[in-house]
């Protein structure tokens, strides 16, 4: 009877551990081969996209300090696609997004081609230590 008293706590602990292992596996999916960002980065990248670059640097944008991300994305599929990139600075409660490509006729990345965009976080004076990157396809 004494063992049953702790069953709900043990169940919760097992679920938390399973969630942790799932997140660790998920966090590495879609990551580029290398990045110069000194941060814990979680990646949520669709299989129809391949990140070729993800760099961050402090700089200026519009005369203000900014944390600027350079993101390269390649289309590994056999059809033209348009992407939406969202970057969340989780420790700073900031977010920004970008369409790739931003414009064009039609606005798509052709198969086996790549595009690079810069995403500035204007007014950000230091680098983030916890980042979430989400890449999805969208219809143009």
Question: What would the DSSP string read from start to end of 1-32?
Answer: -HHHHTHHHHHHHHHHHHHHHHHHHHHTTT--
Residue range 2-138 in CATH 1.25.10: no
Q: What tokens were used for 11? A: 């169940």
Q: What is the pLDDT of residues 35-90, one digit of tens each?
A: 999 999 999 999 999 999 999 999 999 999 999 999 999 999 999 999 999 999 99
pLDDT at residue 3, as a whole number: 53
Give the domain ranges of the chain.
2-138
The pLDDT > 70 percentage for the chain reads: 78
Confidence of residue 27 (pLDDT cuts 50, 70, 90): very low
Name the residue with higher pLDDT: 127 or 2.
127
pLDDT at residue 18, as a whole number: 45
CA distance 69 to 25: 24
CA distance 4 to 111: 57
CA distance 25 to 20: 9
Instruction: Look over the chain and give the mean of its residue pLDDT values, rounded to a whole number.
Output: 85
Confidence of residue 6 (pLDDT cuts 50, 70, 90): low
pLDDT at residue 8, as a whole number: 58
Are 97 and 87 spatial neighbours (Cβ–Cβ below 8 Å)?
Answer: yes
Q: What is the pTM of this model?
A: 0.77
The Cα angle at residue 84 between residues 28 and 68, in degrees rounded to 5: 75
CA distance 86 to 118: 12
pLDDT at residue 31, as a whole number: 85
pLDDT at residue 10, as a whole number: 52
Which residue is listed with tokens 């292992």?
A: 21
């Amino acid at each position: 009877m004494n063992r049953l008293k702790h069953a709900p706590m043990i169940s919760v602990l097992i679920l938390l551990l399973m969630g942790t292992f799932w997140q660790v596996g998920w966090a590495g999916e879609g990551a580029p081969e290398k990045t110069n960002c000194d941060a814990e980065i979680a990646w949520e990248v669709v299989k129809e996209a391949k990140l070729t670059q993800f760099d961050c640097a402090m700089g200026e944008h519009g005369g203000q300090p900014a944390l600027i991300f350079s993101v390269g994305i390649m289309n590994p599929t056999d059809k033209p696609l348009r992407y939406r990139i969202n970057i969340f600075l989780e420790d700073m409660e900031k977010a920004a997004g970008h369409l790739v490509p931003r414009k064009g006729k039609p606005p798509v990345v052709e198969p086996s081609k790549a595009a690079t965009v810069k995403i500035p976080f204007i007014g950000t004076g230091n680098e983030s230590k916890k980042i979430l990157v989400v890449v999805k396809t969208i219809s143009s």
